[in-house]
Amino acid sequence: MAAKKRKPMSGNAISRRTVVGAGLAGIAGLVAPATAQVLSTRRGDGLLVYDEHSLRTTLDFSSLIREPVVIDSIEVLQHSENTRFVRVRSTDGAEGIVIGNMRLPHTVSLLEHIFRPMLIGTDARDMERTFDDFFRTKRPRGYKYSGLPYFIIQGHCELAILDMFGRMTGKSVSSLFGRQRTEEIEVYMSRLSRTTTAEEEIDIVGQHLEASGARAIKVKIGARMNLNADAYPGRSEALVSGIRKRFGDELKIFVDANGSYDVPTAIRVGRMLEDWGVEMYEEPCDWEDFEMTRQVTEALDLPVAGGEQDTSLPKWRWMAEHRAVDILQPDIMYNGGFMRTLHVAEIAAQHAIDIAPHYPRSGPEVAPLIHFCTSIPNFKGFMEYRADHLETDFDYEPVIRPVDGKVPVPTGPGFGIDIDSPVLKS
């Protein structure tokens, strides 16, 4: 006999109107203006206009670093087949390093042909305005290339420059912005596989929960952008119900559909997820079809999340204003860096929306994400951490790994990670 389904959780457990918005009414006033990217503002009569607030800077770096920091080089250094670093150096010998995103090899031509010519010889303290000028008016006019590949490269450059600024001043990046709110961040373990059976996946989830001490898990449902398909018939419900029955009501369950469904199917699946007390339903519909996702959000009490592929600030505003989702999920690398994503947090806060950043990585790669999560008041409360920990093929300090479900905010300068690799010494 099949187990009886749990009733929808009540109170502060799943209602998007009470959970997502709870305690956020005053957040908009707590998030500082973020970036120099142009974003029109809504006038009293509802018309969108450019005004004195359209061009802003996150932080006056010249007040922290008195002399110009002229960029001398931006290098991609290959440690191994799977590991690359992006290093920025100034003419005075200061340097900052960020671990390369998995998509860096496929987008590096944008670094060579757009971002190096744009940045080398400029004062890094003015990078926000430099990025904005080249995106809008100066050749090659970055808006002609706008999208995830373009902003991946901007993200690498910006994060490496911020790491350099932190090392120059002896401050961590979150401290550099005066934003560090906590000394540790709670994580959810993020599983990426759809090749397992539900039973196999439940066993793997148990192993990761035991090893990490985490109180939350995210698993994949559906079949990723595959027109209402499941990985195999019945897997999604068997997986979610099995996790709930195996690990009890205290475990927070999040799911990611990766755009698997149309609206009727997404709502039907969402009702099932509500029955089992799931607390976040990520990307139920095609990520480009905001209206499909908005219809699902409107129909469900279960909080709907999305945004990992999005890079357009006006589109972020549209999603927030029209409540296309209950939770925004910018990726700090995909979205063009730390400061540009602070702007997304500001947009979200103005509409009492939480931020749960996308970033399914582990170990030292998550250091920039940790600093971002501690820097925003509307952080959802659990940071994504890849369950299948990717062992590094280089030495680094300090080691980052969940203990009792939490990771510390690195306290060293920059993003707080010291990497030992021969390519960084050459």
pLDDT tens by residue, 50-102: 988 787 788 999 999 999 999 999 999 999 999 999 999 999 999 999 999 99
166-176 pLDDT per residue, tens: 999 999 999 99
* The pairing of beta strand 304-306 with beta strand 327-328: parallel
d(CA 322, CA 290): 10
The predicted structure's pLDDT at residue 69: 98
Q: What is the DSSP string of 33-101?
A: P--SS---EE-TTS-EE--TTSS--S--HHHHS-S--BEEEEEEEESSSS-EEEEEEETTS-EEEEEPP
Residue that is written with structure tokens 């990307």 in the block: 283
Could you tell me the pTM of the whole model? 0.92
Rounded Cα distance, 404 and 188, in Å: 11
Confidence (pLDDT) at 36: 58
Contact 49, 43 (CB under 8 A): yes
Q: What is the mean pLDDT of residues 8-25?
A: 37
Supply φ then ψ for residue 314, to 5 degrees.
-60, -35
* CA gyration radius, the chain: 21
Instruction: Find where tokens 């500001």 sit.
Output: 346
- 174 forms beta bridges with none
The domains located in the chain, with CATH, are 16-27+176-419 (3.20.20.120), 61-172 (3.30.390.10)
Burial label, 312 (beta-carbon count in 10 A; 0-12, 13-18, 19+): middle
Query: Residues 258-271: pLDDT tens digits?
Result: 999 999 999 999 99
